[in-house]
Structure 1
Amino acid sequence: MKIKFDSEADAAYIYLADEIRAGGVARTYLCDPVEVRGMINLDFVANGRLIGIEIMDASRMLTEDVLDEAKC
């Protein structure tokens, strides 16, 4: 698992797969922003396996420890 954080966009991406190829995401599920109090998108491949999680407004949604690790 790998986490990347873009401080300018205030967005984080959690990679649950070693590699996500271009066009590898078959479906993105947009979580209800009211229910999760933010914008979180789940990326799936064709067989339904979850391969990534995108978190917008990441500095509010994630702990400082996670963001510090993601910046490395």
Structure 2
Amino acid sequence: MADIRITYDKTADAAYVHLTDPRDDVHSARTYPCDPVDVDGMINLDFDERGRLIGIEVLAARSKLPEHVLKSAERLNPEPPRSG
């Protein structure tokens, strides 16, 4: 089973599912926005220059992804430690 990296920005409520090896220097050449009416939200598919799907951006992620996925995602803006 492949390890898939998922990042989550809590402030923006946006998640990104990375489908490439983190060691590869891959950049999005084209983004395909899914129809927001069909998916009841905004989901974007990123493709590289060879047409391969390299990532999936999910906006309003709390309403689209299971809670366990967001809890296990790498936080892009981690909460500061509580003092105490």
Q: Same fold (TM over 0.5)?
A: yes
| TM-score, normalised by the number of residues in structure 2 | 0.78
* TM-aligned CA deviation for residue 18 of structure 1: 1.5
Mapped to 2, the partners of 1:71 and 1:34 lie a distance apart of: 28
* TM-aligned CA deviation for residue 51 of structure 1: 0.3
Give unpaired runs (5+ residues) of structure 2: 76-84
Q: Residue 58 of structure 1 aligns to which amino acid in structure 2?
A: A
Mapped to 1, the partners of 2:18 and 2:32 lie a distance apart of: 15
Task: Select the structure of larger CA radius of gyration.
Answer: 2
1:60/1:49 CA distance change after superposition, 3 Å: same
Q: Residue 2 of structure 1 aligns to which amino acid in structure 2?
A: R
What CA RMSD, in Å, does the superposition of the two structures yield over aligned residues? 1.6
Identity of aligned residues (%): 54
* TM-aligned CA deviation for residue 54 of structure 1: 0.2
Mapped to 1, the partners of 2:54 and 2:66 lie a distance apart of: 21
Runs of 4+ with >3 A deviation? 19-22
Report SS of the residue matched to 1:66. Answer: helix
